[in-house]
Amino acid sequence: MNTPLWAIGAIIFCSITGALAAFLIKKANVTLNIKELLRNKYLWYSMPLFAVSALSAVIGYSGGELSILYPFVSLQYVWSSLLAIKYLDEKMTWIKWTGVFLILIGVSLIGLGA
């Protein structure tokens, strides 16, 4: 079975929306207080993004090989790192950057192999 570009695109979209949803949960600074949870706008914004991420994963996986598509989900780590640097003032060490670089190399090799 060949994996079409639209399936890869759906999985990349899944990774982007998943990273945005995780970022919003971090931004929500979630507590265990139920009243605060119900009023937390960032938490509410994250829920539809997780749903969109899951739906795009279902669409993407239906169009190709899992062994080709699933590694593209790891791009979520790349997007999350970039969001954390830009908007949460998190610091990246050289080890973290090496990990991001290795993810990009791995996904590129899998993409070329497809």
Looking at the chain, list the stretches that DSSP marks H as alpha helix, in order from N- to C-terminal side.
Answer: 5-28, 34-39, 41-61, 66-69, 75-87, 94-113
For 40, the domain range is 5-113
What is the reported pLDDT for 1? 63
Number of domains in the chain: 1
In degrees and rounded to multiples of 5, residue 31 shows phi and psi of: -115, 175
With 70 as the cut, is the pLDDT of residue 114 above it?
no
Name the residue with higher pLDDT: 1 or 97. 97
Phi-psi map region of 89: left, alpha, beta (phi>0 left; psi -120 to 50 alpha)? left
Q: What is the mean pLDDT of the chain?
A: 92
29-86 confidence digits (pLDDT tens): 877 788 888 888 999 999 999 999 999 999 999 999 999 999 999 999 999 999 999 9
What is the reported pLDDT for 35? 85
What is the reported pLDDT for 54? 97
DSSP character at residue 71:
G
73-103 confidence digits (pLDDT tens): 999 999 999 999 999 999 999 999 999 999 9
Q: Please report where in the chains the tokens 């970022």 appear, as a residue.
A: 23
With 90 as the cut, is the pLDDT of residue 28 above it?
no
